[in-house]
Structure formats: C-alpha cells, structure tokens
C-alpha cells in the first residue's frame, strides 16, 4: 500500500549547521534531552499531560466526486487552499492528488508527472508543496520524496531522497515544508524503522533528527519559525508526539493520558499542532495541542464512528483531515472552531 507512515531532537543550533554540511549527505545529529527553561516562540517549556477536553467545532465534508469511498485532506494554506487525494493505495485504487480552493467546488489534479500515485502532504501559499510519489500501484509500492516549486507560473520538481534510505520496498516521504523552503520527512532503514530528517531546499543538504530515547522517529511538519512536529516510538513500544524548536533544541513530548499512541502531523506558525491518538480499539481521535499554554482538545467528527484524524492547520485555525464512517468509507473534512 502506498501510504504515509505516521511514527526526534536536534541539538541547539544544529539547524544552522545544515548550511555547512556536504550536499546530499545525511548527517546524524546528536541525541539530546529536552531542555528546561522559559518558553520560546511557539514552544512551551514542557508538555501538558492532563486529560484533554472535548471540543465542539464545525465540520464540512469535502470529497472529490471521482471517489466517494476514500478521500483524505492533508494540508491547508492561509488562503484556505487545501491539498488532498483520493484512492486508498490498495492495488487498483491508486492515490491521486488534488488541490481545491474556496468555495471548494473544483478539484484540480496535482500529481507528479509520470507518477502512478502521488500524495501532497505539505502546501504553502503560492503553490509550493512537498510530498511523495510511487511509480506503481501493486499494494506494496516504493515511495520517493519530492518538493514542488512554483515561480512565475513555472513548476519545478526537486527530488528529495535521503541517501540512507535502505528499506525494501524503498520508503522516503517528504511531509512538510515552510516558506523558508525547509522541508521535513522520514526514510525507512533496512529493518523498516523510520528516521526523521530535515532538508534545506536552498542547499540540498540533509540533517538527521533524533528524539532522546527513541527507537524510531519521524518528522511530519514544520512552521515558518522552524518549529518541527512529529512522533517517536520509545523502547516500551509507546509512541508520543513531539514539538521541537530547531533553532534552540527545546522540545516537548506529549501523549494523551492513558493511551499509547499520540502523533502530531501538522503545526501552524502560532505553535498549534494537530494530529491524533488511538484508543484501545485502535480507533484514531483528532487532537489539537496549543504549545504556548499547554492545553489540548479532542476533536471527533460526529460521523466518524471509525475514527477522526487531523492532518494540517493554517494560521487562521482552519484544520483539515478525514474521518472513517460506519461503512469504512474515508471522507475529507474541513474543521473550524476547534479551539
């Protein structure tokens, strides 16, 4: 299946060091522990572990009519432009990327040329995007990362594949990008374990990202302040979400109390992160976390009896994601008023 594997810390100042690295070479950063101290912009000193409250937001279902059975919305920019895709990725049901703008009645294909499958996971105003693609649709497909740049109407695709990728099938995904053209993602090693990285589009250089105590980790999003979000799995098998300031190394790890899997998939410039946690039945529930005040809320679409996942958030607080209904169909959603 062609899919995004939802599953780090950089030492202080390591982000700047990316500029001095050898182009195309992945460099292992030092593993650090979260630093105590006063909050930095967009990042509180430590994460809340109190039980999140339930939110009462508004939900708008947005599905591409070409596929009423499977849609996911992945990212939303400050103009309200949304990137998403239809197709589950199972054999015969390939992922097909699209872009949709307000009033959300025209779906424009956004597939990487010559690809069989595409997902656009990161999207910023002007059309610059990040994602991954596959040349096949067998149900077990290779993934290759890319960045899509748009300047004066000219589209340029940049191949972004960490040279340490060694899994079979090959898995490399670029999941988030900011206006500084810094992108984040992960690759899988020979054992199939994910490893997060940060990539500078301007220099073509990689920086490994690591969470202290993690056995595997992934970077999923990055905002304009170079605040990175993602998730890491610990030795006990539990997975926590994280937020990290790439400039200072200050980190938060967060989980919904009583549950073993929490992940942050997107973060806006105000330090608000979105993602999900899974319950004892392995059903996902949307989470919104404010890193400035440490407060979190749970967001569930009323129609999502088989789960809700939040993928992206813009600076206006608009959130995109998806839910799965009682018939196991997956539907894209736009969420407002969640916090």
What does the block give as tokens for 11?
Answer: 């030492």
Average pLDDT, rounded, for the chain = 86
Contact 1, 90 (CB under 8 A): yes
Summarize the confidence of residues 37-55 as an average pLDDT.
Answer: 50
Confidence class for position 258, pLDDT limits 50, 70, 90: very high
Backbone angles phi, psi at 18, to 5 degrees: -60, -30
Could you tell me how far CA 261 lies from the centroid of its own chain?
15
Confidence class for position 55, pLDDT limits 50, 70, 90: low
Domains of the chain: 14-32+42-336 (2.120.10.30)
Q: What was the pLDDT predicted at 244? A: 87
Q: What was the pLDDT predicted at 6? A: 33
Quick check: helix, strand or coil at residue 53?
strand
Model confidence pLDDT, tens digit, residues 101-115: 999 999 999 999 999
The answer on pLDDT for 34 being more than 80 is no
The answer on pLDDT for 43 being more than 90 is no
Model confidence pLDDT, tens digit, residues 182-192: 999 999 999 99
Q: What was the pLDDT predicted at 19? A: 27
Q: In what helix (H) or strand (E) does residue 134 lie, and over which residues does it extend?
A: strand 129-134
Least confident of 1-5, 146-150, 153-157, 293-297: 1-5
Q: Report long-range pairs for 290-294 (Cβ below 8 Å, ≥24 apart).
A: 290/339, 291/42, 291/43, 291/44, 291/47, 291/227, 291/243, 291/252, 291/267, 292/39, 292/42, 292/43, 292/44, 293/44, 294/44, 294/46, 294/47, 294/48
What is the share, in percent, of the chain residues with pLDDT greater than 90?
Answer: 77
Place of tokens 């950089």: 10
Q: What was the pLDDT predicted at 25? A: 27
Confidence class for position 10, pLDDT limits 50, 70, 90: very low
Q: Detail the DSSP E strand segments found in 69-160.
A: 71-76, 82-86, 96-100, 107-109, 117-123, 129-134, 144-151, 154-159
Confidence class for position 158, pLDDT limits 50, 70, 90: very high
Confidence class for position 50, pLDDT limits 50, 70, 90: low
Summarize the confidence of residues 285-314 as an average pLDDT.
Answer: 96
CA distances 291 to 39, 46, 123, Å, are: 9, 8, 22
Contact 6, 231 (CB under 8 A): yes
Q: What is the DSSP letter of 16?
A: H
The answer on pLDDT for 170 being more than 90 is yes
The answer on pLDDT for 159 being more than 60 is yes
Summarize the confidence of residues 119-135 as an average pLDDT.
Answer: 95
Q: What was the pLDDT predicted at 69? A: 98
The answer on pLDDT for 144 being more than 60 is yes
Q: In what helix (H) or strand (E) does residue 231 lie, and over which residues does it extend?
A: strand 227-234
Longest dimension (CA), the chain: 52
pTM over the 0.95 mark:
no
The answer on pLDDT for 64 being more than 90 is yes
Round to whole Å and give the CA distance between 278 and 311: 14
Q: What is the DSSP letter of 140?
A: S
Q: What was the pLDDT predicted at 119? A: 98
Residues 6+ apart with CB under 8 A from 236: none
Residues 6+ apart with CB under 8 A from 153: none
Contact 77, 124 (CB under 8 A): yes
Residues 6+ apart with CB under 8 A from 132: 4, 118, 119, 121, 143, 144, 145, 146, 172, 173, 174, 175, 185
The answer on pLDDT for 54 being more than 50 is yes
Backbone angles phi, psi at 14, to 5 degrees: -70, -25
Confidence class for position 128, pLDDT limits 50, 70, 90: very high
């Amino acid at each position: 299946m062609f899919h995004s594997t939802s599953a780090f810390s950089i030492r202080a100042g390591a982000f700047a060091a990316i500029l001095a690295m050898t182009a195309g070479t992945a460099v292992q950063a030092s593993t650090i522990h979260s630093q105590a101290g006063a909050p930095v912009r967009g990042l509180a000193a430590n994460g809340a572990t109190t039980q999140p409250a339930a939110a009462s937001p508004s939900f708008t279902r947005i599905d591409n009519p070409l596929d009423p059975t499977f849609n996911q919305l992945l990212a939303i920019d400050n103009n309200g432009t949304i990137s998403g895709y239809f197709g589950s990725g199972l054999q015969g049901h390939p992922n097909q990327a699209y872009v949709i703008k307000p009033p959300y009645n025209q779906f424009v294909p956004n597939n990487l040329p010559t690809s069989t499958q595409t997902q656009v996971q990161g999207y910023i105003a002007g059309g610059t995007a990040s994602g991954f693609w596959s040349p096949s649709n067998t149900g077990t497909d290779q993934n290759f990362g890319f960045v899509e740049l748009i300047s004066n109407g000219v589209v340029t695709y940049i191949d972004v594949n960490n040279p340490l990728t060694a899994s079979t099938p090959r898995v490399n995904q670029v999941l988030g990008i900011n206006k500084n053209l810094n992108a984040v993602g992960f690759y899988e090693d020979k054992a199939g374990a994910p490893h997060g990285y940060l990539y500078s589009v301007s220099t073509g250089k990689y920086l490994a990202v690591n969470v202290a105590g993690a056995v595997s980790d992934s970077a999923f999003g990055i905002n304009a302040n170079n605040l990175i979000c993602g998730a890491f799995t610990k030795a006990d098998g539990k997975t926590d979400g994280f937020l990290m300031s790439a400039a200072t190394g200050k980190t938060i790890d967060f989980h919904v109390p009583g549950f073993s899997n929490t992940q942050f998939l997107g973060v806006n410039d105000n330090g608000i992160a979105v993602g999900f946690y899974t319950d004892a039945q392995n059903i996902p529930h949307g989470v919104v976390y404010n890193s400035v005040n440490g407060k979190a809320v749970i967001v569930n679409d009323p129609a999502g009896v088989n789960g809700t996942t939040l993928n992206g958030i813009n600076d206006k607080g608009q959130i995109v994601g998806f839910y799965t209904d009682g018939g196991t169909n997956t539907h894209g959603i736009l969420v407002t008023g969640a916090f």
